[in-house]
């Protein structure tokens, strides 16, 4: 009986730990020297978006990674995806990012967008933004702002997140793993529409809410993350429901001129993106090899997936 009890306890512990990590983002822009979504679902529109940041730069990220964050978004500029975010209606969702506001900017842009998608119509948009350096979650024609203790200090990296929970019809805003404000929407129903993701702006009524400062590690989840999961993101952990490979994925030679060897027989396909996040092709791995001879010289991000289209890992490769 004692052995059975211990077994049940152990099982419950494993299940609890599994539930904590049972979510993976649908998008993850690391901005580590590129504009690639490391989940492989989104690409950045650099061709028809006339408001694409013209002079942005890569700066040191929140974790000390050199060229690990983006900075230099103009007042009317933003990064826009080619694909729509299909978290619509009143579906659960979470947006997460690391931000560092620039000093002395409150007087020029009191409202600054971090992440948004949707339309400029009642309850059709979902936004995480700043007003006077206080976090705010807007659903269009309504929103919830952090109190004074939710004010950001310029020049300091902060982890920020907004969670919408359909079961309670409530939005919750977090900073550095701590809840700063929540709001029950009552009779108001979210009707968010599918639209491209914007990073670094919120259209508002003027389209002039460009983010002043640095942005890093933007993640979008199609789930209402718990406090424990938000704290995991803040402390540097990861949430994942991806298939775990039996062995790590290794590639060589790197740099490569033509044939790239992929030392993992579970990798079935590879999506190739350039450093601007543009998806170039999806290639089938044949006998553990991938032909890259047709690519121009440069840096590319390879997203590896198994035969069930499960994400496995993303790897930067230099083409000579």
Overall average pLDDT of the 228-234 stretch: 92
Alpha-carbon span 128 to 141, nearest angstrom: 14
Same domain, yes or no: 185 and 157: yes
Supply the pTM of this predicted model: 0.78
pLDDT confidence of 137, banded at 50, 70, 90?
A: very high
> Whole domain around residue 262: which residue ranges?
251-319
Residue 220 pLDDT = 97
Same domain, yes or no: 190 and 270: no
End of a domain among 234, 265, 292?
A: 234
Same domain, yes or no: 189 and 291: no
Overall average pLDDT of the 142-159 stretch: 85
Residue 205 pLDDT = 53
Here the CATH number for the domain that contains residue 301 is 2.60.40
Alpha-carbon span 85 to 212, nearest angstrom: 24
Same domain, yes or no: 206 and 107: yes
Same domain, yes or no: 114 and 56: yes
Same domain, yes or no: 216 and 150: yes
Same domain, yes or no: 157 and 277: no
Cβ contact 246:254 at 8 Å? no
Lowest mean pLDDT: which of 93-107, 172-186, 235-249? 235-249
Same domain, yes or no: 183 and 275: no
Structurally, the chain folds into a number of domains equal to: 2
Residue 301 pLDDT = 85
Same domain, yes or no: 207 and 282: no
Looking at the DSSP bridge assignments, the partners of residue 254 are none
Kind plus residue range of the DSSP H or E element containing 65:
none
pLDDT in tens, 74-117: 889 999 999 999 999 999 999 999 999 986 544 467 889 999 99
Residue 113 pLDDT = 93
Alpha-carbon span 202 to 292, nearest angstrom: 38
Whether 217 is covered by a domain: the verdict is yes
pLDDT in tens, 1-51: 434 333 333 333 333 333 434 578 999 999 999 999 998 899 999 999 999
- What own/partner pairs with CB < 8 Å and gap ≥ 24 does 203-209 have? 203/113, 203/116, 203/120, 203/125, 204/111, 204/113, 204/120, 205/120, 207/51, 207/76, 208/75, 208/76, 208/109, 209/75, 209/109, 209/111, 209/112, 209/113, 209/129
Whether 9 is covered by a domain: the verdict is no
Whether 244 is covered by a domain: the verdict is no
Whether 97 is covered by a domain: the verdict is yes
Mean pLDDT over each residue of the chain, to the nearest integer: 85
Percent of the chain with pLDDT over 90: 56
pLDDT confidence of 253, banded at 50, 70, 90?
A: very high
Same domain, yes or no: 297 and 148: no
Cβ contact 229:219 at 8 Å? no
Burial of 311 (0-12, 13-18, 19+ CB in 10 A): buried
Whether 63 is covered by a domain: the verdict is yes
Alpha-carbon span 197 to 205, nearest angstrom: 17
Which of the two residues, 266 and 103, has the higher pLDDT score? Answer: 266
Here the CATH number for the domain that contains residue 78 is 2.60.120.200
Whether 14 is covered by a domain: the verdict is no
Overall average pLDDT of the 303-313 stretch: 83
């Amino acid at each position: 009986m004692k052995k059975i009890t211990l077994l049940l306890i152990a099982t419950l512990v494993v299940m609890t730990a599994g539930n904590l990590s049972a979510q993976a983002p649908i998008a993850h822009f690391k901005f580590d020297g590129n504009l690639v979504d490391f989940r492989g679902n989104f690409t950045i529109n650099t061709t028809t978006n006339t408001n694409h940041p013209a002079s942005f730069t890569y700066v040191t990220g929140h974790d000390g990674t050199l060229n690990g964050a983006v900075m230099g978004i103009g007042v009317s500029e933003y990064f826009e995806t080619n694909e729509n975010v299909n978290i619509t209606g009143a579906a659960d969702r979470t947006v997460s990012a690391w931000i560092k506001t620039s000093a002395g900017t409150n007087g020029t842009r009191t409202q600054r967008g971090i992440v948004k998608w949707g339309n400029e119509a009642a309850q059709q948009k979902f936004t995480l933004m700043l007003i006077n350096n206080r976090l705010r979650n807007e659903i269009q024609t309504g929103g919830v702002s952090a109190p004074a203790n939710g004010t950001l200090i310029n020049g300091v990296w902060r982890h920020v997140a907004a969670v919408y929970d359909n079961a309670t019809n409530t939005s919750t805003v977090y900073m550095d793993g701590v809840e700063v404000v929540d709001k029950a929407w009552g009779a108001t129903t979210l009707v968010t529409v599918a639209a491209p993701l914007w990073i670094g702006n919120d259209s508002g009524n003027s389209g002039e809410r460009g983010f002043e400062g640095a942005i890093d590690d933007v993640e979008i989840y199609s789930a209402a993350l718990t406090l424990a999961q938000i704290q995991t993101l803040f402390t540097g952990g990861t949430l994942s429901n991806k298939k775990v490979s039996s062995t790590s994925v290794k590639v060589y030679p790197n740099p490569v001129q033509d044939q790239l060897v992929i030392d993992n027989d579970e990798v079935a396909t590879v999506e190739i993106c350039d450093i601007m996040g543009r998806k170039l092709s999806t290639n089938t791995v044949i006998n553990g090899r991938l032909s890259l001879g047709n690519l121009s010289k440069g840096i590319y991000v390879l997203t590896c997936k198994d035969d069930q289209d499960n994400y496995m890992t993303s790897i930067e490769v230099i083409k000579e």
